[in-house]
Structures are given as C-alpha cells and as structure tokens.
Amino acid sequence: MPETALQAPAPAPLMSFTEDEILFRDNVRQFAEDKVRPLVKEMDEKGVFDHGLIDEFFHLGLMGIEIPEQYGGGGGKFFEAILAVEEMSRVDASAGVIVDVQNTLVNNALLRWGTEDQKKRYLPRMAADTCGAYALSEAGSGSDAFALQTRAELKGSDYVLNGRKLWITNAKEAGIFILFASIDPAAGYKGITAFIIEKEFPGFSVGKKEDKLGIRASSTCELILEDCRVPKSNVLGEAGKGYKIAIETLNEGRIGIGAQMAGLARGAWELAAKYAQERKQFGKAISDFQGIQFQIAQMATDIEAARLMVYNAARMKDAGIPFVKEAAMAKLFCSQVAERVTSLAIEIYGGYGFTKDYPVEKYWRDSKIGKIYEGTSNMQLATIAKLVLGGK
C-alpha cells in the first residue's frame, strides 16, 4: 500500500469545513498527540485520568466550547464539540468521553434549560475549571430510564433527595451534577425532575468507582444521596419536566458517542494500516497481500461512512433541523463500526495485537461501551423503527 493511504479516511470536502473548523480540529489533534498519547497506557493501567490533562482541557477551551463568551466560554458550535470528541477519542476514548459529557450533556442542558441566574452561577465554572456529570441511571433503571427510585421531597425552600445513582461518568472529577429524581412517584415519568447538584452539598457523596473493561481512565461511579439538601432554585427547567430534559439532552449526547466511536475506530485503523506496511511475512509486507488490503479498505470505508453520519447529525443540530433519527442512526452505526474495526485491527497485528504491549487491544476494549451507554443499540433500533415507520 502506498504511504498516502495512511492519510485516509480524510474529512470529506463536501462537508464544507470552514477554515476555523479545520484549524480547531488540527489543534485538538496535535494536542492529543503531544499531550494525551504519552499518558494513555499509564492511565489505562492505573484506571485514573491525569488531572493535569483536565486542567489543560480547560486552558484550551475544550470544556466550554458552546458556552457563550459572556459566560467565559468559546461561543462555538455543537459541530466543533463533536470534532473535539472525535480527535480526542482517536488517541484515547477516555479523554474523548470527558470532553463529550461536559459539552454535549451537561453544558447543553444548562444552556437550554437553565435560568439566567443558573447560567451566571454555573456556566463560568464549567468553562473555567469545573467538570460536570450527568446522573440519570440507577441499578434498576437502565434502558427503562424513568423507572428510577431516587426521590425528592420539598421541605421549605429546599428539596431533600434520597437514593443512589449508578454508572455515572466523570463522577470522580465532577464538581457539578445534573441529577434526576422523582418528586411524585405516583405521577410516573411526569414526576421526574432535574436538579443541579454541587459536590459539596450536604448529604451528597461519590461512592465506589467501577473497575471496567474499557475506558478505564474515565471514572464511572456510584452517587449516594442521603437527605441531600438542594435549594429549590437549583431545579433545572420545570419541576416534573425532567423526563423531557433527559430525552432531549441524550438525543444530542448520542451524536457525541457516535463521534467517540468514529474517532477510536480511526485511531485503531491508522495503527493497523501502518503496521501492515511494516510487518513482513513470506518475504514481503503483509499489506501486499490482497486479503489484508481488502480488510484495510473495508475498514476505511466503514469509518468514512460513520464519520459522515456523525457530521450530518451535528450539522442538523446546529441548523435547528430535527435530528433524533439521525442521532440514533449515528450512534448505532458508529458503535458497530468501532467494534468491528478494532477487532480487525487486532487480527492484523496477529499475536502481538492480543498483548498489552501493543496499543490496538485497548481500542477494542474501549469500543464495547459504545453499544451500551447513552442508549443501547436495541434502544436506538427501537427509536429508528418508530420514526421511519411513522410512529411517535
């Protein structure tokens, strides 16, 4: 294979990238190569994300991309946040998901549903130095997200929350949490309410960190609420409308997960394509064999299709065009591509690919979560089916 093949799959010119978008993407890519890649193996082995890197994320403006300049953010577009997630995930999916949750879930929820007072209090912190987390899942409410058991009872000027959240990404690093609880269990999903919780609130604590297969440097923890007092002014949106916030925010978040999966697939592909040109068997590079060429070509094609689906959904979101179906399709397809491409990358490396001395096995481990969080593949298929068949 010619050396130029390593430049593919490149961004499609028909996506009409602006000069600013290209510069932003290239800067994030260079930062990921220079600062993140040298720490990836150690962070994965220890299961801890380097706090110095997070400080640099803030310094570069990667944690407040869409936050308006008046609140200290970059005043950018959703599409730029997606580019940042993709480029970070190309090097390390744990880095990608930290940037993803901050921008596509927490910041987006505050921007869309927060009062002006809430925006003034929290957005400058989110842009400057405070990580966010999004707390919906519980032990008994995964795909059935609104079966949550966490309760909130109004007592005077405060809500008192009791319950436990599970599998919360960024929990160890976060200082602000968008957390969902029910104020009226008898009302079903119409009792669900979103709250802005600060880590220092009395009665709130972060519990056990999960020991995971992949994205090991990204913290995934339990949250414990024991008579946690939350000011009534920290209700996000409207009491009883948390289900709407959850659904609509996750629709945007799924584009971010699509970008994460497309990015890590690209990272694994680049390594496999390079290795295929270096590894020799039977007197020539294995990339000279048609069987390997076809695998690499199919991987590149799948990645390009995945990226275009992500970019399209992000552009639709920025343009104010309905994008729920496209977001579900992007997450579904990108997670499938990521698992398939990273698995093939291991096979191209052969026995070396199965060892931790080489980087591709980590990409495969990281890919598996794509079919699970922010809506399983079956839930994406259910959403797509209803929309293409004319249902609600």
CA distance 101 to 345: 27
CA distance 93 to 218: 9
Q: Is-catalytic flag, 19?
A: no
Q: With beta carbons less than 8 A apart as the criterion, state whether 217 and 92 touch.
A: yes
DSSP collapsed to 3 states, the chain: CCHHHHHCCCCCHHHCCCHHHHHHHHHHHHHHHHHHHHHHHHHHHHCCCCHHHHHHHHHHCCCCCCCCHHHCCCCCCHHHHHHHHHHHHHHCHHHHHHHHHHHHHHHHHHHHHCCHHHHHHHHHHHHHCCEEEEECCECCECCCHHHCCCEEEEECCEEEEEEEEEEEECCCCEEEEEEEEECCHHHHHHHEEEEEEECCCCCEEEEEECCCCCCCCCCEEEEEEEEEEEEHHHEECCCCCHHHHHHHHHHHHHHHHHHHHHHHHHHHHHHHHHHHHHCEECCEEHHHCHHHHHHHHHHHHHHHHHHHHHHHHHHHHHHCCCCHHHHHHHHHHHHHHHHHHHHHHHHHHHHHHHCCCCCHHHHHHHHHHHHCCCCCHHHHHHHHHHHHCCCC
Q: With beta carbons less than 8 A apart as the criterion, state whether 224 and 164 touch.
A: yes
Active-site residue (options: 86, 304, 361, 374): 374
List, by residue number, the catalytic residues. Answer: 374
